[in-house]
Structures are given as structure tokens and as C-alpha cells.
Amino acid sequence: MILVFALAACSSKDTSGSGEKSKGKKDKVEIFSWWTGAGEEDGLKALLALFKEKHPDVAVENAAVAGGAGTNAKAVLASRMQGNDPPSTFQVHGGAELNEGWVAAGKMEPINDLYDKEGWNDKFPKSLIDMVSKDGNIYSVPVNIHRGNVLWFNKKVFDDNGLQVPKTFDEFFQVADKLQAKGITPLALGDKEPWTATQVFETILVAKLGVDGYNKLWTGELPFDDAKVKESAETFKKMLGYINKDHSSRNWQDASQLVADGKAAMNIMGDWAKGYFVNDLKLKLNEDFGFTTTPDSAGIFTVITDTFGLPKGVKNVDDVKTFLAVLGSVEGQDAFNPLKGSIPARVDADTSKYDDYGKATIEDFKTAQLAPSLAHGSAAAEGFVTKANQAVNIFVTQLDVDGLINSLKSAQAELKK
């Protein structure tokens, strides 16, 4: 992927857009994402329907590519960007994935003017604007905020067995032992795509290291052979002793299904899982399933934000900015996020449109310490994330703590210092 970025940067021409390019033949606004199921598709369709209602004269193409966390879409996007055939706008995670990837490769146009025109500079949290900015320029519009450090649980399983939902690692292992003794899988995992296991590991890392220590991993200030990283790996190894045996053949939806069916008690997954539980499985929040933060991470918010920007070389710049304006509006965010399972990126959204989970998470976001997600490309650039996923994938099979630490320490050279 780094090679692709480099090639893309070398071959790119500064074809900065202007309104001139929107004249003449109308091109479709091609919306490139990986939102194809489990609540996310519902949210995207609601957003596109709103855009069509407001701008019926602008044609839109939904160019979504299936694959959890963009596993397939990112490869297709890289090929297109390298070939100077960018989509009109594309889904990209705020943080390193955007800034150290496409912005550093010279493939994105700044959109400070759009923020000024729409009055957004005080409508998105500064911490979020920082995640979509580089060298003083803003490059994308956040449509949502997801929380990664969420523990979902089957309420009936816990109630029937007289168990309290765990808040700490000690409590988690005590509950897991009791569940396992009764023949119930304590923790569902679907790591057919390796990012899911990496997401579990990152929740342990941030809990053990704290947000400051966790962030120092991505700047190179804290080495991966630090004692607390080793402790995190040992805890991860212990947790993997309580997962379903068929984890490698399941994706995240399949793992969530185990919890929904009561075959597993808990699942660690971002809050897109809530969209799946409610929209696809028709479960009721706080009746069929519940939520809490992952062990020892109360007051921490592992943040993932989906954003869309303006690639260099697109012809219909004005139409793309019109779409981005709707995406960043209160109405757009409130159409999308209740279905997706996420919370709005804007600070002035209508909270009455959100369920108990949404309301609680909106409040938590205001006060929690924010930690960028490794699994979703916000904490580190794609080259490191790929190697981390490979290392974690091997670890899930071999459970070799020293091997994991050595692989991560070796990959740390990928990180900018």
C-alpha cells in the first residue's frame, strides 16, 4: 500500500478543481465506500435519499464495495488512485489513514473553503477537525463518530446465570470462567478478517497503557517491548482462551449473531454492531442486549470517524462539494447515524433522534479521553496497520507473546517519528 501511495504521488498532476469543471456534461457523483450491510447500508441509503430530495438534479452513484473495515474497498481504491481514476469522493478514516496516506501522497484537495462557507469550524469538535487536517489544511468531512471499545452482551444469558456485567479484566475472567463451566462461549470473535482481533487487542493496550502511553506507541516514544505492552499481550492471550472455536471462519456479523442467539455471552466490537443488532436482527436495546465499555476502559473513547473528502482530478467539483455539504449538515448526520449505530460528528445534532446508547455515547464523547483506533487506521499509517494485523493474526493461532512483541517492535520502524 505504501508503494501504491508513492506511485500515486509520483504520477499525480495538480488538477485542482474549480467550478469551471462542472460546466458542460454532468457527471455522476460517485460515492465510494464499503457500506454494504448490517445497518451501514441503511444509513448510506438514508443519506443518499436525503441528498436526492434536496438536489434532484445531481445524479449520484452508490459505488460501495463489500468487505468489513474496507478490506476489499481499500485495494480497489488504491488501484484507482494510482491510475488517476479517483471516485468523486470516498470513505476514509480520519487520522493516519487519511493524513499519512492520501494527503501525504498529494491526492487530496483541501476543503477549508467548504468549512468556511458552511460555518463548520465550530460545529465539529476541534479534536475531530484535527484528525482530518494536515499542515493547517482540512481535507475531509466527518459524517460520524464510532466508539471501538464497546463490550456487547446478551442480557438473557447474564440474567439467567445471575452474572454481573464485567467492568474490569479481573471481573471479565471471573465471569468467563463461570460461563465456560456452563457450556456457554464467553467471548465471540469473528476474525475471518484480521482487523477484528486487532481491535480487541487495541482495547487491551489502551486500558493497560492509558491514553497517553497508548498514543506514544504511534510516535515511537514508547517501544513495543515495554512491560505494559507485554502485559497487554499476556491478557490478550488469556482472553483468547474463552473464544468460539470457529472464530477464523466467521466475520464480525457472524460473531455478533452468536451473542444475539445466546450461544455466546459477549462480543467486543465497535458500535456498528448496535446497528446490526437493531436493524438486521430486530433486537431491542436494554431488553435483548446491553453494552458497557471494554474492561478497564471507562472514561476512554477509542474513536473511529468515517469521513469523505475531495480527491484531486475529479471533474464535477461543485457537485461533490454539494454532496459533502449535505453529508456534514445536521439533517444529513441525523439521517445517517441512528441507522448506522454511530453518533453524529457535529456538536449540534438533534439528540432526540438517538436511542439510549446514542445519547449515552454522545455524552461520553464530550468528556472522555480520546484514543485513535489502530485497527481502523486512525492511529498509524496503512503500512504499520497491515503488519500489525498480520502479527495479531499469527498470534491468535500460535499464542506466542514474544513473537507478537518482536513483530510489532520490528514494524514500529514504519511509524513517523
Query: 297, 257, 319: which is closest to 57 by C-alpha?
Result: 319
Cell reading at 147: 466508539
Residue 297 has what pLDDT?
98
Model-level pTM? 0.89
Low-confidence residues of the chain: pLDDT under 70: 1-26, 38, 69, 416-417
In sequence order, the 6+-apart residues with CB closer than 8 A to the CB of 44 are 31, 33, 35, 62, 64, 336
Question: Alpha-carbon distance 412 to 380, whole Å?
Answer: 10
Residue 250 has what pLDDT?
97
Residue 17 has what pLDDT?
39
Contact 129, 414 (CB under 8 A): no
CA distances from residue 92 to 96, 192, 207, 234, 367 in whole angstroms, order as listed:
10, 22, 26, 32, 25
Question: Alpha-carbon distance 194 to 415, whole Å?
Answer: 20
Residue 26 has what pLDDT?
61
Residue 416 has what pLDDT?
62
CB atoms within 10 A of CB 209: 20
CB atoms within 10 A of CB 116: 11
Reported as a single tens digit per residue, the pLDDT across 354-413 is: 999 999 999 999 999 999 999 999 999 889 999 999 999 999 999 999 999 999 999 998
In sequence order, the 6+-apart residues with CB closer than 8 A to the CB of 68 are 34, 193, 195, 196, 251, 252
Residue 38 has what pLDDT?
62
The residues facing 31 across adjacent strands are 62, 89
Question: Alpha-carbon distance 344 to 290, whole Å?
Answer: 21
Q: Write down all domains in the chain, each with its CATH number in brackets.
A: 2-144+306-351 (3.40.190.10), 147-302+374-414 (3.40.190.10)
Residue 69 has what pLDDT?
66
Reported as a single tens digit per residue, the pLDDT across 215-231 is: 999 999 999 999 999 99
Residue 10 has what pLDDT?
36
- Residue found under cell 484480521: 194
